[in-house]
Amino acid sequence: MITLVAPPVSLDAVMLEARATSLAKRSIKNDAKRAGIDLAIRCIDLTTLEGKDSPGRVRSLCAKARTPRPGYLDIPSVAAVCVYPNLVAVAKDALRESAVRVASVATAFPSGLSDIEVKLADTAAAIASGADEIDMVIDRGAFLSGDERKVFDEIAAVKRLCGPIHLKVILETGELGTYDNIRRASDLALEAGADVIKTSTGKVGTNATFPSALAMCEALRDYARRTGERRGLKVAGGIRTTKQAMTYLVIVKETLGDAWLTPELFRIGASSLLDDLLMQREKLDTGRYAGADYIPKD
Amino acid sequence: MTTFEYAPAPESVRPQIRERYGLFIDGAWTAAHADRTFTTIDPATENRLAEVAYASPEDVDRAVRAARKAYDKYWRKIKPADRAKYLYRIARAITERSRELAVLETLDGGKPIKESRDFDIPASAAHFFYHAGWADKLEWAVRAGRTPEPIGVCGQIVPWNFPLLMAAWKIAPALACGNTVVLKPAETTPLTALALAQIVQEADLPPGVVNVLTGDGATGAALVAHAGVDKLAFTGSTEVGKTIARTIAGSGKRLTLELGGKAAHIVFADAPLDQAVEGVVNGIYFNQGHVCCAGSRLLVEERVHDEIVARLTERIATLRLGDPLDKNTDIGAINSRAQLEKIEELVRSGIAEGATLVQAPCTLPGRGFFFPASLFVNVHQSHRIAREEIFGPVLSVLTFRTPDEAVEKANNTPYGLSAGVWTDKGSKNMWVAQRLRAGVVWCNTYNQFDPSSPFGGYRESGFGREGGVHGLYEYMAG
């Protein structure tokens, strides 16, 4: 095996999961919850990645991303919307004169099983349409067969193409099988130039989990320690409740520190999560739960 | 924009605490001889919680006689399956009242609510459930051809670090095997034992099967010396354990002792370091280090010493010390002023002997007994902090170079209760575990407990086992 980065770091599954479980038991109440909800909203990549996505659907999503709840001016916008490459232009137009960024999946999302030329063309098209951020996938088949060089080179090539454009590298942790692999893929991606490492596509059975996010936070912490440079984390897939979002904030806070609690360094890829955050926010303000139909769905 | 800092999250349930508690003897609450009482306080605030009856030798005598009568009249005679029913009833009641019991344990002892909620109380219930299952199956615990027989009246003295759980460890196997019990909880933490007495009463156990005597060391000494006691079980300090052994020598009383420890926690360079650090943190800071099996001597392979110490230093800074009732508190209150003074004295000795103290930067509350998560580096085997049990949140870090040296240093202690080993290499893990003279060796984990797993020590950590089939032997004759 070619030594591309520091030797593999091993993790112990039992203790990693125990630590993640204990972090999930943090009790987030009152002011902490209010701050956490607003922070989570600011960190959302509001996502639609379905075969039936259309310009109309994306425009609706963008309206919600910009103003999650019309009439409530203190509710922040989300960080970005995340769409397929051919809808980037629509999103870009819908979000003009707003701070909300447009992220595009690329590199033969979600499997990543295409030639590098196709992946680069896919990425280039998204960038040409105005994408501010690229969410690429790694080739899990290559990784699991031991071809770390291929994984590394593809990430490095995409990053070269992206230049200053924010590159998020999806590891698809649910397909990697072990925490050792998740850690190894994290280290490879960071060394190859990922600005953000991201858990999942949302397209396989297992999405982001607390222990996998914790393992990735440890990689980010060690990378920062080694290089002095802070890189980001994105958790995605299956995150629907405020409670889940709060636990991810806790994991980041207690593993990486408060400096990472910003949309520059932490993102949550989600769609319906925003609705629950808005409901919980209203509950904190009024003491009552709003009916689900008071929250705009898009 | 507000920052994401945890707001106070205090547990809201308030348990009913009586103004005064009597002694639980022969199924009823009675005043102590001469109506003597003492006060139990909340170590986190130093506020008074309740007045508790103080049992004198006269009360011990009453309780032992009640236990004897209950043994002869009911408990040795009833069907084993009926003993099981009572134990199941107690287990269910603990589960049903778990939240209230957790708060009570935290109030009286100072431990974080997350620990009493997630460990002490569920583990106590589990111990009763497990032994309820054994009550009518004891023939399978003894050698073929033998008949399981109870011993008689058991005097049981438990410590203040896991008050309800230690009571459960003692009472459940004793009752399952057909013995009756006189329990003496620790002076600083009587309340959950008294709540357990209430549960016993509500479970309608025959009077005298379980008796609870609150008091201090003199109460315990009277129980130890009482001629009507057939078996003694003690968990506590090695010093008191030795006194008990001397007192009952030649009396024919059976004895089990679970005493102190100075456990070695060995971390090899090839260990999963982040998780090893978590294990070390759990090993020493769980329950403020008031744990007899605490991994208080960290032995790290020299080549990763600096790395481990850096990670530990960073990690202990994230531990949250404060109100034990807050659900986010990691480090609660030290159990008593006396214990706090003992910790402070040993820490001073460590500094005087030349070790370097590293402490978590945190503000201690103005009232109550608190001590920050601490570790010592530059510790040598000859230092008191490497040899004596501190029983507080203080870790001593030592180094080794080879597996042989790790084993030699780990075993170089009069104690032998527990140990931990961290390495990714299975063969090395087993090689080391086989050579450690400790009752429990945890491999790539720490502080794992289960009612089915025997627990107990070597050498000055005591003898006899609690839990599992081995624990049953201690409560059966022959």
Whether the Cβ atoms of residue B182 and residue B213 lie closer than 8 Å to each other = yes
Residues A167-184 have a mean pLDDT of 98
Min CA distance, B354 vs chain A (Å)?
30
- Known catalytic residues of B are 258, 292
The size of the A-B interface in CB pairs under 8 A is 73
Residue partners of B34: CB distance under 8 A and separation at least 6: B56
Whether the Cβ atoms of residue A195 and residue A224 lie closer than 8 Å to each other = no
Question: pLDDT at position A289, please?
Answer: 84
Question: pLDDT at position A1, please?
Answer: 43
Q: What is the pLDDT of residues A120-174, one digit of tens each?
A: 999 999 999 999 999 999 999 999 999 999 999 999 999 999 999 999 999 999 9
Contacts of B279 in chain A (CB under 8 A): 15
CB contact under 8 A, A15 and B328: no
Contacts of A37 in chain B (CB under 8 A): none
Min CA distance, A249 vs chain B (Å)?
9
Q: Which of A16, A29, A35 sits opposite B2 (nearest CB)?
A: A35
Mean pLDDT of chain B: 97
Contacts of A261 in chain B (CB under 8 A): 3-4
Q: Which residue's entry shows tokens 């993102």?
A: A267
Residues A177-202 have a mean pLDDT of 98
Residue of chain A whose Cα is closest to the Cα of B447: A15
Q: What is the pLDDT of residues A50-94, one digit of tens each?
A: 999 999 999 999 999 999 998 888 999 999 999 999 999 999 999
Q: Is the pLDDT of residue A4 over 80?
A: no
Length of chain B: 478
- Portion of chain B with pLDDT greater than 90, in percent: 96
The C-alpha atoms of residue B438 and residue B441 are separated, in whole angstroms, by 7
Question: pLDDT at position A145, please?
Answer: 98
Contacts of A18 in chain B (CB under 8 A): 278
Residue of chain B whose Cα is closest to the Cα of A217: B274
Question: pLDDT at position A73, please?
Answer: 86
**In Å, what is the CA distance from B185 to each residue of B40, B48, B125, B236?**
12, 18, 18, 11
Spell out the SS3 assignment of A5-73: CCCCCCCCHHHHHHHHHHHHCCCCCHHHHHHHHHHHHHCEEEECCCCCCCHHHHHHHHHHHHCCCCCCC
Domain boundaries, chain A: 13-43+102-285
Question: pLDDT at position B1, please?
Answer: 53
Q: Is the pLDDT of residue B17 over 80?
A: yes
Tell me the sheet residues that pair with B181.
B154, B210
Residues B278-298 have a mean pLDDT of 98
Q: Which of B126, B129, B125, B134 is nearest to B80 (CA)?
A: B134
HSE toward the beta carbon, residue B169, CA cutoff 13 A? 31
For chain B, list the domains and their CATH numbers: 20-259+458-473 (3.40.605.10), 264-443 (3.40.309.10)
CB contact under 8 A, B424 and A26: no
CB contact under 8 A, A16 and B274: yes
Q: Which of B1, B274, B318 sits opposite A11 (nearest CB)?
A: B274
Q: 3-state DSSP call for residue B423?
A: coil
Q: Which of B311, B332, B308 is nearest to B320 (CA)?
A: B332
Q: Where are the beta strands (DSSP E) in B95-139?
A: none
Q: Which of A18, A29, A253 sits opposite B7 (nearest CB)?
A: A29
Q: What is the pLDDT of residues A233-283, one digit of tens each?
A: 999 999 999 999 999 999 999 999 999 999 999 999 999 999 999 999 999
CB contact under 8 A, B5 and A34: no
Range from A292-296, B26-30, B236-240, B451-455 carrying the lowest mean pLDDT: A292-296
Range from B19-23, B34-38, B141-145 carrying the lowest mean pLDDT: B141-145
Residues B51-68 have a mean pLDDT of 98
Return the CATH superfamily for domain A13-43+102-285: Aldolase class I (3.20.20.70)
Q: Is the pLDDT of residue B331 over 50?
A: yes
**In Å, what is the CA distance from B445 to each residue of A246, B378, B424, B442, B452?**
27, 25, 12, 6, 18
ipTM for the whole complex: 0.92
Min CA distance, B272 vs chain A (Å)?
5
Question: pLDDT at position A3, please?
Answer: 52
The C-alpha atoms of residue B345 and residue B469 are separated, in whole angstroms, by 40
Whether the Cβ atoms of residue B443 and residue B306 lie closer than 8 Å to each other = no
Q: Which of A9, A14, A34 sits opposite B2 (nearest CB)?
A: A34
Neighbours of A21 (CB within 10 A): 13
For testing contact with chain A, the best of B113, B118, B268, B275 (most A CBs within 10 A): B275
Among A234, A253, A275, A276, the one annotated catalytic = A234
Banded model confidence at residue A16, pLDDT cuts 50, 70, 90: very high
Q: Is the pLDDT of residue B130 over 80?
A: yes
Whether the Cβ atoms of residue B334 and residue B45 lie closer than 8 Å to each other = no
pTM over 0.90: yes
Whether the Cβ atoms of residue A82 and residue A122 lie closer than 8 Å to each other = no
Whether the Cβ atoms of residue B96 and residue B107 lie closer than 8 Å to each other = no
CB contact under 8 A, A258 and B4: yes
Min CA distance, B347 vs chain A (Å)?
28
